[in-house]
Structure formats: structure tokens, C-alpha cells
A and B are shown apart, each in its own frame.
Chain A
Amino acid sequence: MEKTTVYAQMVETGAQRLRSTHELSSEERAFQERIDAGVKIEPRDWMPEAYRKTLIRQISQHAHSEIVGQLPEANWVTRAPTLQRKAILLAKIQDEAGHGLYLYSAAETLGVSRDELLGSLHSGKAKYSSIFNYPTLNWADMGAIGWLVDGSAIINQIPLCRCSYGPYSRAMIRVCKEESFHARQGYDIMMALCKGTPEQKQMAQDALNRWWWPALMMFGPPDADSVNSAQSAQWRIKLNSNDELRQRMVDQTVPQAEYLGLSIPDPDLQWNEERGHYDHGPIDWSEFHDVLKGNGPCNRERLRTRVKAYDDGRWFRDALVAHADKQAARADAPRQAA
């Protein structure tokens, strides 16, 4: 019953089972035919209520993940080793705020308000990617996050550029263009540490050890038997299975780790000549579900920080509205006098 798209984990579609063509209404059939023909669905097109609701959940979870994803990195802005690294980290965090904005805007085209979306995040009702509930303990974590977490996000987001919903697909295209900087700056940090002192290289290894498994979990549990996944695939808002994308991540990351001279913390990892892919060891899904339930190392802290930032900014947002109202009233006044 689970599906995931890395930054949007386990999105419910409301489907109990996939219905065959003759069970669909004529509107639903025409809708499905458009999707099958690769025609994008736009905000004012007719769409099944379940498609709309599933997309709101998926896109808003994705948006929340971008926003909460800023917090683990914020920890290192004041501790970056050089001014340049600090400027780069700030630029990456700024991008993530922008990505959250693109995605919230795409969700709003489906008839949900920004306030409702933020309300669900702040009340704890809405989910965000479990990866952001892990702590960032040393500077190398900034490298590992860019390399592994943003790397995984890219693997997930590239197919979503071709998803069926126009505003989401266009947001993903924009995000993907900007994301490659994130992965590269991460790998650049890892390269610098791995070429440094033994202690620095050990920092890089420690970060890889801690982020490897959570990064693999980002793709979500195997979804072979999931009705939600099948429904989302039929709607073309999920284009690959979780395992397919995870395999892609492992296959491209292992050689990158080898170049750094780091070892992947998985004794079962080995190249499978027959499959032409790497085999990896079993993933501890109980940890994943536990973090998703709210029991990760940083769940409470992340939400608390996010809610505090929003509450602390309230007076300022209110003041801006009051100012705009005053300007509008002044502009109206001479007209009324005339």
C-alpha cells in the first residue's frame, strides 16, 4: 500500500484496486486516454477528484521536503570551513526555498491554498521526506547530503519532468536544472576531504556511513504490490518503481565512492555480472517506518524550528499587509473625493 517519490513518501491515492477501462465513466476514460497519449493535464482540465487529491498530497509533500530540507544544512552555515563554502551553502539553501515555492505554487493550481498547505505541515499532519530527520554532525555531512541526498532527488525528479500534470512537470524541469549544482558541490566537499588529512578523510567516511542507508530509504519500500503505486503509474505521476530508482542510485554512486577511496557501509554490496547491476544488502525498513512515524533523531526539533520560524515572522507578514492596505486606501482616497 505504499508509494513514494523520494521527497514525497507513501502518498495515498484512495484507490482500493485498479479499475479496468469499462468501469470508468466517459469523462474518466477520456482523461485516461489523454494521459496514455502523453498529453499534459492542465489546471482547468477536467480531472478525477482522486487524481487532484493525490497530486496535492504528492506535490505538497515534495514542497514541504524542500522547505524542511533547509534545516539540517542551516546547522553548518555559521560553521562552514571557508567564506566561499559558506556562500555556496547559502546559495544551495536559497535554491531549496525556491524549489519549495515552485512546488507550493504548482499545488495551488489544484485548488488548495498556501495557508492550508503550511497549516498541514505545521500541525504535523503532512509528511516530508524522512531523510531530513537525521542530524548533521560534522562538516562532511554537507558533502554527503549534496552527493547522496540531492543525488537521489535528481534520480527521482528527472522522470517527473515527464509526469502528466503540466504545472508539476514544468516545476520539475526548473528544479532539475538547478539541482545539479547541489550534487556537485556536495561531491566537491567530499573530494576535498578525501584528499586531505587522514582525519578529514575519516570525517568523509563517517558521513557516508551515516547517510548511506537513510539515502537508500528515501526511495521508499519496494512497491511491487502497491495499489497506490499502480494507480499513480497509470496516471503517470509515478514513472518508475521505488526499487528501479534505488538501483539506479546504487549503480551510479558506488563508482563515485570508489573514486573517493571511501567504502560503502554494506558488507553484502557486490557487482552482479548477470544482472549488470550492484546487489545490496537488506534495508532496515523498521527504521524507515519509525522515522516516518515521528521517532527519528530530529523529527521534533525540525518541526519545532519550522513552526517557530513561521510564528516569529508573523508580525512582519502582518505589517506588510497593513502597509499594502494603507497604500491602496491612499490611492483610492482622491478618487472618492473627486
Chain B
Amino acid sequence: MSKQWPLWEVFIRSQHGLAHKHVGSLHASDAQMAINHARDVYTRRNEGVGIWVVKAADIASSSPGDKGPLFDPSNSKVYRHPTFFPMPEEVKNL
């Protein structure tokens, strides 16, 4: 059986100045082919000005089960939001 091509995650910069955004994945034998395929699969309607491809195996990810321990602690720190400090009507530009 032939070896399966690795999986690549594709990130597209949709407009100048914006960060790349994950759009999906594809199989390719190497990085150049991954970019070519990403061009064909994800930018046929001029959706992008730039492409990143990253081997899926190289991406470290949190697990859905980690959601609580990772993100709950910030719930008790509401003072990180400016709205925690009500400003008087008369005070502008703050």
C-alpha cells in the first residue's frame, strides 16, 4: 500500500492587513503541493491574498475537556473589562 500523504491545515489571509484565518485542511505530499492545492480549493473566488499551510501533526491543541480549567478562571476577573469601571456621564474620552 502506498504511503498516505500528510494532512495540512490551511490558513488564508483574506485581505491585506488581516491575520491569516484557518479555513480547512487537505492532503499533499509536500508544502509546495499543499499551497498549490490550497490555492485551488480555498481561493477559487479570490478569497485570499496569502496562504499558510502547516502540517496538522505539528499543531498542538488544547482538548475540549480542558475548557473549564483553562478558561473559567477569567470569569471571576471581570475587572479586566473597561465596563467594570462606570465613568460619569460628564467625563469624556475614557
Contact = CB atoms under 8 A, between A and B. Distances in A.
Contacts of B93: 252, 256
Interface stretch (A178-186, A276-284, A320-328): A178-186
Interface stretch (A17-25, A52-60, A83-91): A83-91
Given A166-B17, A169-B17, A181-B80, A256 B94 contact: yes
B20 to A, nearest CB: 10
B84 interface: yes
Interface string B65-94: 000000000000101111011011011111
A88 B91 contact: no
Interface string B11-23: 0010011010000
Contacts of A40: 16-17
A316 interface: no
Nearest to A182: B82
B50 interface: yes
Contacts of B77: 87, 91
A84 B92 CA distance: 25
Contacts of B79: 84, 87-88, 91, 181, 185
B17 A184 contact: no
Interface in A47-97: 84, 87-88, 91, 95
A184 B85 contact: yes
A188 interface: yes
A147 B37 CA distance: 51
A315 interface: no
Interface in A165-194: 166, 169-170, 178, 180-181, 183-185, 187-188, 191
A166 B88 CA distance: 36
A184 B82 contact: yes
A42 B13 CA distance: 11
A183 B79 CA distance: 12
Interface of B is mostly: loop
B87 A187 contact: yes
Nearest to B76: A87
Interface in B1-43: 13, 16-17, 19
Given A87-B77, A252-B93, A188 B88 contact: no
B80 A259 contact: no
Interface in A131-155: 151
Given A91-B79, A252-B92, A184 B87 contact: yes
Nearest to A88: B79
Contacts of A269: none
Contact of A181 (B13, B19, B50, B84): B84
The CB with the most chain A CB atoms within 10 A, among B16, B50, B84, is that of B16
Contacts of B82: 180-181, 184
Contacts of B94: 151, 180, 183-184, 187, 256
Interface of A: 39-40, 42, 84, 87-88, 91, 95, 151, 166, 169-170, 178, 180-181, 183-185, 187-188, 191, 252, 255-256, 259
26 contacts: A40-B17, A42-B50, A87-B79, A91-B80, A95-B80, A166-B16, A166-B17, A178-B80, A181-B81, A181-B82, A181-B84, A183-B94, A184-B84, A184-B87, A185-B79, A185-B85, A187-B85, A187-B87, A187-B91, A188-B85, A252-B92, A252-B93, A256-B91, A256-B93, A259-B88, A259-B91
Interface of B: 13, 16-17, 19, 50, 77, 79-82, 84-85, 87-88, 90-94
